[in-house]
Structure 1
Amino acid sequence: QARSIVPTQNGFQVVKSVTLPNGKVKVRYQQMYHGLPVFNTSVVATQTEKGIGQVYGMMAQQIDSDVVSTSPQVEQKQAVSIALTHYQQQNPSLTSADLVTENERAQLMVRLDENQTAQMVYLVDFFVATNEPARPFFFIDANSGE
């Protein structure tokens, strides 16, 4: 990333590109940190023949001071199991036999917590196939499992 204000361990990855009728191209970029997406951050740039014009969006800074390693201590399957346990605790009327889940997913990423501190987490979600279907989402700390 030549001529970038972003340190080299950070970067942006193209998510979507749309060409407008006037020839301008709008490009949405996802912020990345050492190959991991940064939750709730993206930048939109307008490109013309003259180059990049307007740029706006959200970007997390100084992630490296909070996230020193991108090797999780918690495995993906453990994160899903922890999220399922949390869901059962929040829904005590569901027995283990009642809790039928599908499409379990856990994506490793970086997010800013409520104190604006970066942390490596799994974003876990799954489909709960009950009489009242649900798709809960959980952030599970990739180091502590909390």
Structure 2
Amino acid sequence: MNNEISLFFHHIGKPVPLEQIKDHPDTKYSPLFDMYSLDMKNDLSLPIELHAFGPASTLDPLIQKESHVAFKVNNIDKALIDKKILMPLYQPFADYRCAMILVNEQPIELIETTLSESEIWGDGIYKDSILYN
């Protein structure tokens, strides 16, 4: 990133076997990506999201197999310039845009949002999104 782009830690995403989270009552399903997601609470209050993928998932295989770190950025359009894109920029819900890039063979998610963390996590705004049911 260049000096014009600020990065702030947002969350860790970790792929897991589908059987591990599919039947958990808090698991969300995304028909858009055939992906299951579960926000995991922990003693350090670190936002960790487990992801499992169904056979119809169109996400890049690296996203499906490798953990990623997500960062909020102040300008996602500039942050994506000349980067290898794994997941193109899209807006799953209002005031939240994201994409995934490859940095030193590591998937990195970039997020630009004005939403608070409580609006994003748990029972947040995602319910009005194109991402999750």
* TM more than 0.5: no
TM-score (norm 1): 0.23
Higher relative contact order (CA 8 A, sep 6+): 2
State the structure with more CA Rg.
1
